[in-house]
Structures are given as structure tokens and as C-alpha cells.
Amino acid sequence: MEALLQAIDLLYPEMVGWRRYLHQHPELSYQERETAAYVANHLQQWGLEVRTGVGGNGITARLKGSGQGPTVALRADMDALPIQDQKNCDYASRVSGVMHACGHDAHTSTLLGVAKVLSEHKEMLNGDVVFIFQHAEELSPGGAFSMIDEGALDGVDYIYGIHLWTPFPVGTAYCKEGPFMAAADEFEIVVKGKGGHGGLPHETVDSIVIGSQLVGNLQTIVSRGVDPTQPCVVSIGSFHSGTSFNVIAEQATLIGTVRTFDPELRMDVKQRMDRLVSQTCTMNGADYSFEYKLGYPPVINDSEEAQRFLRAGARVMNVKPSPLIMAGEDFAYYLQQRKGCFMFVGAGNHEQGIIHPHHHPKFDIDERAMRDAARLFVSMVWDCQNGGCN
């Protein structure tokens, strides 16, 4: 395996170049056509069996090893976010209002690096490796489900994924067996009151006042309705109403997210929200609509594969058991179909000012995290294909 790790180290500057190009040319979920073409072109040059248009803009590429053993899939996501890049650097996004603010450009470049290194050393592989470049992770229903539906996991025995994570310092990696990342649901509440003059509030049903009550009332679901030992989040992300200083708005729209790990709690929160919205609006004489969309399920790592992470990862970097992560990921769908695990690799660096959270307009990574992630991927594949799989 040492030859593979050395090859990754030598390839690292090229991985940085790929990442910076992709960072300058981001594409939103379900629009990753140029990104997919860029990825496919590299994979084809290296002699892999490439399928394009898998489930949308997804790509799969199979590398046949020289020996007999399990087929391992590795996954990266390719989409960007509708955020204006505010970084002052030469690789900032050139697309107005679109930015790689979650590290998917680096995920893609990391997996390209692994594909190139393994394709140059396929005689060392005891089994095949499938590279999954997924579209639309950021936007439900996501690209994982459609790629699975179109055969991305056909013939695959194990699957691994990595997310670079700036809250963790560069040089570290984290994973957890069992529930790891939360189910990520969405909701929309529309309060339908009665508009009128700002100076005559008694003649109106004020949607903003009612919406404000809902913001506060919804927090009691977690603080007073959920066992405090159970992780749960209810967050309002947007509250829109009104157009003028002297007009009481007839309608207010609130959208947000719910994060849970337990399936029963997930449904209980949904029912509590429905009841609370109904009672708050009825009490104030308003009509309403409430839509609740079940998003990605929780990411649940296989216990044996999480142990593999601790064993194989320790050969290449500093690995630690992870806390629960309240962010969501459609990698969950792959783990419903195959044994595997999702891992976090630290990408933050306070000394270099790389401190901004994911989905922030100044988000960036310590690019050495790509080298760490590539080494971790290779170590996981090596461990699995050399007697480490059950």
C-alpha cells in the first residue's frame, strides 16, 4: 500500500489544480453538465469503464483489479450551492450567485485523484473499484436514489464516502458506528390572515404576529415535547411577509427544517408541528397551510465498517470516534443497500483563517485535506480487498 500512498502525495498538486478549476466553475444541483463532462473526460483518459448520465448527471466508472476479491464503491458529490462567493482569492467562483460552499469540488477532485492512482496500480487491487460521482446531493430528492435506481451499485459489495469538514482540524478524521448524520426534513407554513391598514390593526388578522408566535411556539416541541436525551432540531430558516411599512400583511410564509435520528421521533415531531400550527392559527382567526416533506433518512454506518475505519484509517492519519452530526446526507440511501460507512476528514485551519462553516459565502478548505481523504479512501479499499472483509 505504501506505493499507493506515495503516488497520492506526488499527485496532490494536480488534485489542487482540479479543485481550483472546479471551484471557479461551479454548477447547481441537477445542472452539473460541464462538471460531469470534465470528470468523465479524465476518467476515460485513464482507461476506466465510464457510464455517463446515470440517474441524471451522475457518472460511474469501474476499474478492474488484477486479483479476485470484493468490489468496493467510492462516492463523491459534484454540485454547488446558490451562494455568492465572497472570498478574495484567485480561484474564487466565476459564476455569479453560485459557489462550492460545501467542499464538493474537493470531494470530486479527491476521488479523481484516487481513480488516477489506482488505475496506474491496478495490479495491486484484489477486486474491482467503482467510482461514483454523484449529482444533486444538496437538493432533495437528491441524486443518490436515482443513481442507485439506474444501477450505480450493481455488483458492488461495499461502499465508502468522505465529507471534508471544516469544523474538524486538518489532519484528523472522524466516524461513528450506527446513526451518524441526521434525517433532514423540510417544512413550509403559510399563514393566511386578513390584511389592512397599519394604523387599524383591529380590522385585520395580522399574519406577521401569528407567524412570530409560531416561531416561538415551534421551539417548545424540542424544549418541552422531546426527551432531552434524544437529539432533535426544529429550525426556521426563512420568514417572509409584507411589502410596506404601513400595511399589515395578509400572508406570511415560514420555511425550515427538522433534524432527527429516531424514526418514531421523526413522525412524532411532524404530528406535533401539524397540531401546533393548526391551534395557533385557529386561536388567532387565521387560515393556514402546512406542508411537511420527508427528506434524506439518517446516515447509519455499519458497525463493522466503522471499526474498519478505526483500523485502516489509523494507518494513514489521526482517526477519532465522531460525535453525532446534525447535517443530512443522501449517502444514507447507499448504506440502505450495501455495507459501508461515511467518514469525515478535517479541513479546517484556524492559523490560516480557514474557519468559516459550510454554506458560508467565505467558505474554504485547507486543501491538504484532499490528500488526507485520498489516503483514507485507499487505505479502506486496501483493507477491504486484502482479507479485511467478512
Q: Do residues 162 and 192 share a domain?
A: no
User: pLDDT tens per residue, the chain (390 residues)?
Assistant: 899 999 999 999 999 999 999 999 999 999 999 999 999 999 999 999 999 999 999 999 999 998 899 999 999 999 999 999 999 999 999 999 999 999 999 999 999 999 999 999 999 999 999 999 999 999 999 999 999 999 999 999 999 999 999 999 999 999 999 999 999 999 999 999 999 999 999 999 999 999 999 999 999 999 999 999 999 999 999 999 999 999 999 999 999 999 999 999 999 999 999 999 999 999 999 999 999 999 999 999 999 999 999 999 999 999 999 999 999 999 999 999 999 999 999 999 999 999 999 999 999 999 999 999 999 999 999 999 997 554
CA distance 322 to 316: 17
**Which residue range forms the structural domain that includes residue 47?**
2-181+298-388
Of 296, 318, 339, the domain-final residue: 296
Q: Do residues 258 and 309 share a domain?
A: no
Q: What pLDDT does 241 receive? A: 98
Q: Residues with catalytic annotation?
A: 79, 137
Q: Do residues 24 and 132 share a domain?
A: yes
Q: Do residues 278 and 359 share a domain?
A: no
Q: Do residues 138 and 205 share a domain?
A: no
Give Cα separations from 287 to 124, 208, 243, 251, 280 (angstroms): 66, 13, 20, 10, 10
What's the CATH number where 314 sits? 3.40.630.10
Q: Do residues 187 and 176 share a domain?
A: no
Q: Do residues 203 and 63 share a domain?
A: no
Q: Do residues 277 and 302 share a domain?
A: no
Which amino acid is it at 361? P
Q: What pLDDT does 113 receive? A: 98
Secondary structure element (H or E) that encloses residue 224, with its range: helix 207-225
CA distance 373 to 65: 21
DSSP 91-137: T---STT-B--SSHHHHHHHHHHHHHHHHHTGGG-SS-EEEEEES-S
Q: Do residues 214 and 235 share a domain?
A: yes
CA angle, 344 as apex, 292 and 327 as ends, to 5°? 15
Q: What pLDDT does 67 receive? A: 86
Of 296, 315, 344, the domain-final residue: 296
What's the CATH number where 233 sits? 3.30.70.360
Of 280, 296, 312, the domain-final residue: 296
Single pTM value for the model = 0.94
Q: Do residues 243 and 203 share a domain?
A: yes
Radius of gyration, CA atoms only, the chain: 23
Q: How far is CA 372 from the centre of its chain?
A: 19
Q: Do residues 58 and 133 share a domain?
A: yes
* Count of the separate structural domains present in the chain: 2
Q: What pLDDT does 387 receive? A: 72
Q: Do residues 344 and 236 share a domain?
A: no
